[in-house]
Structure 1
Amino acid sequence: MEEQQEPSFEQLLNESQANEVKYVQPGQKLTGTVVMVSKGVAYVDIGMRTEAQLTIDEEDERSSALQEGAQVEVFVVKNKQPIILSLDPVMGFGDTSKIAAAYEKGQPVEGKVQAAIKGGFEINVDGVRCFCPISQLGFRNEEDRAAALGQTFPFKVIEFEAAGDNVVLSRRALLEEERQKKMAATREKLQPGAVLSGKVRDIQSFGAFVDLGGLTGLVHISQLAHHNVQRVEDVLSVGEEVEVKLLETKIDKNGKERISLSIKALLPDPWDELPFEMGQTVTGTVVRKTNFGVFFNLVPAVDGLLPMRFMKKAGKNIDIDSFQDGDQVELELVEINLHDRKIALALPGWNEEIRSSLKPGDELKAEVIKVIPAGVLVQCLEDPARGLIPKRTMKQGAMKNILEAFAPGSQHLVVLEEIDDRGRYTFVLKGDSTSVDDGTLGQFLGQEESLNNNPFATYFSDRN
């Protein structure tokens, strides 16, 4: 058999030169192979004697594919050594036929925001230089518009000349079309009581605006939760996905549509499952004070009132100023009204009987309550007992003199003279009478303790 001859070096060289790309043109689209990546530059074999260079943009997600051996589609930016490539079509060398077809059919085109220029932005659409006015880019603030540079978006062709020299695009027009479609779809769902999904768009002191999909509704601060919300930011944040219930839609006096929403309506009502029963002792937190009592928070979203009439212990009134916001206080539930959503509270021991430990002959200070025809009514300062200093025991004599000497609130030293069989206390001013006789002492020292339990109720009712 005839031996097969291997090709000579000269033949291989000639074949290689025959396959070489001799020339490339700016804007030309090529397929190349990455042969090396170094210092932010990918070197790409496009069939010429030397590799072309492609600068790597780390913010471009396509750059992650520029690895050694990877096949890549590129466009020629500069055709002189070194040849410079781009992953994007080179503006000024594009075909306008695709844009013309999109304009006639009303279809969008993909374009990359290339640069900011006077009055708007330069958009690269497959190598065709287009213009988007600043108002048509669809971003409200300068920061967002700056961030759009280098990004690719769909655009609507709103102006096109046959020569392709003047192509005007609008992203805003597409956004508005999309919004109108969403509005129509959302409006079909706007039935009172409907449960809708939305995203928190804005937060104000009075509530949160929620985007329902083309339409925006308001969740008033009172509709955020069953408990009292002080700051909307404590419950919601901008961008948060929420479920809301539609309360109502109406047109205001300015002709604008108002959509009222509620988050609270979708939350369990704590009053439906109160963990309390009458007479139970609970711990409450002071939340606010009023001129008629103190409100305590018992569980989230449930408050109770401690009224002034129950603000006492062991028969002694408790000053409302002794309660401070945030104080933890032990309380007794004395009334639960589910219909009106009211809970009445009391201090433990509020209904204990007033008990006195006095016995005839005891000396102590008393405060004048008021003067009556029969004498002076007094309240002991160190004992719950109240009683009468009879006029007959007083040296002042005339009522005018008694009124001057015993102003309400004035304090005097007194001696308990007797306790009658109805539990009424009689006092005398110290020094205004002789010491209590043994007969009187003997009469009361042997009495049962019950005489000390009701020192004033019947007595006052008989003499006022």
Structure 2
Amino acid sequence: MTNEEKFEEVENTEETVNSKYNEGDVVTGKVSKVEEKFVEVELEDGTKGIVPISQLTSKRIETTDEVVSLEDEVTAKVIKIEDENTVVISVRQHETEEAYSELQSKKDNDEVIQAEVIEVVPAGLVVNVGARGFIPASLISTQFVEDLNQFDGQTLEVKVEDVDPSNNRIILNRRVLEEAAEKEELLKNFDSLEEGSVVEGEVVRTTNFGAFVNVNGIDGLVHISEISYERVESVEDAVNIGDIVNVKVLSVDKDNERLSLSIKQAGESPFEEFSNEHEVGDIVKGTVKRLVDFGAFVEVAPGVEGLVHISEISYDHVEHPEDVLKPEQEVEVKIIGFNEEEEKTSLSIKATQEKPKRQPQTQNKEKTVYKDDEDDAPTLRDILGDKLKDLGL
């Protein structure tokens, strides 16, 4: 039987003997002998303490001299009474209990601690934080980590996620620190954006309601209505992922981490271009696009529609615009007004036509004369003469 096996047997023996110590006592002493698989410690009262290699540290070691030397002072927990002058002690258990208590305190205070990676396993990283702890792969980084071996031997900053002494479990979290750093950077980026400014961004995602454009590390939404001044049926028909576009910052909501952008407003609008090239009084060609109760909307340039009010369709009275106009009908219109603030154009069809002359009214109207056809035609008095007399008429 090897020395290690002997001390493991001592450790597991349940025989009760007289001793000045009890199981669970914390003792201190100096290393007096270093063997390959165990260490002897001389306690303060001269009692001999035996530390099997398995009870020396939570790290994986092959020989005891990897972690202790002669005359090192150690503190350990009594785990077995061998005889009145010899006890089996555990440095690992004492350090673990101390570590659990300290880690719980650091968790309660949300502190950042150092964790030394001592082993890489498929599910994550085994670390030393005074006790054996574990960082699950899902809590290592905000990004997917394909090769965990890159962390082997490194000392990482982490926060304590869970401490469970009853199950010998310590879960640590590195991802939460990355998230905090990324959020801090994100908020700085929000501060750098001003409403109304025009910046460059990259289209990173498209949906049926718009496109997301990354600006300064922030994904902002360009609603489908803000992609183009022309009607957009499908977002994918207007922009592609990877496109570099200029966008105007419409709103910055730092509290909710939202950014609203516009591609169409980043450049000169079709209205501005049209109004710069034309003036009130110009006659231009257009196409009827929509008919409404109060008039017709006529497209006079790509993205520019002007209103022909019902009163400006014809010099004749128009009851319904559809009575005289049809969608996609080409017409000539006269520009009669610009509303620069609302980017609206007022048009007239009748103003392109010659005003009809009024027909003069007839001054002498023919009078109607009522007369008998025959002069000798009998009157009512002639017929009823005698009877009228009797009535005193």
What is the TM-score normalised by the length of structure 2?
0.44
What is the TM-score normalised by the length of structure 1?
0.38
Structure scoring higher RCO (CA < 8 A, sep ≥ 6) equals 2
